[in-house]
């Protein structure tokens, strides 16, 4: 799956006019009892590609996109990816366990 996402990101960056960029995997963990993680992703693009607790509820809201657990996880399997940029907020108020979110962080040059 990660190879498909890498190809998608490369295609998406070229589509937006970015010939040069670099990306890395960025894990974000929210402990149970914490509600929101805030990410400053201005001039960056973050692509969600995995969540460790697929049955726990979460919402991710950014300047360009809003998704919840139901949209990302289909029949227990994560959807390919979603793109986020700007101010990203991850809300897991209803989560029972710690949640780890894996993103590709893409920085155009």
CATH number assigned to the domain comprising residue 20: 2.60.120.10
pLDDT at 1: 46
Judging by beta carbons within 10 Å of its beta carbon (0-12, 13-18, 19+), is residue 51 exposed, middle or buried? buried
**Stretch 67-95: mean pLDDT:** 75
Q: What is the mean pLDDT of the chain?
A: 83
Per the structure, the count of domains in the chain is 1
Confidence of residue 85 (pLDDT cuts 50, 70, 90): very high
**Stretch 26-31: mean pLDDT:** 90
User: pTM of this prediction?
Assistant: 0.84
Percentages helix, strand, coil for the chain, rounded to the nearest 5? 15, 50, 30
Q: Which structural domain range is residue 21 located in?
A: 2-108
């Amino acid at each position: 799956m990660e190879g498909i996402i890498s190809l998608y990101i490369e295609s998406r960056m070229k589509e937006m006019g970015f010939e040069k960029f670099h990306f890395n995997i960025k894990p974000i963990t929210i402990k149970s009892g914490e509600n929101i993680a805030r990410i400053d992703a201005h001039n960056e693009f973050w692509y969600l590609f995995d969540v460790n607790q697929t049955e726990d509820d979460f919402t991710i809201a950014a300047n360009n996109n809003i998704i919840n657990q139901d949209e990302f996880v289909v029949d227990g399997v994560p959807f390919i990816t979603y793109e986020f940029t700007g101010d990203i907020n991850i809300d897991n108020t209803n989560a029972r366990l710690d949640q780890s979110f894996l993103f590709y962080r893409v920085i155009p040059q």
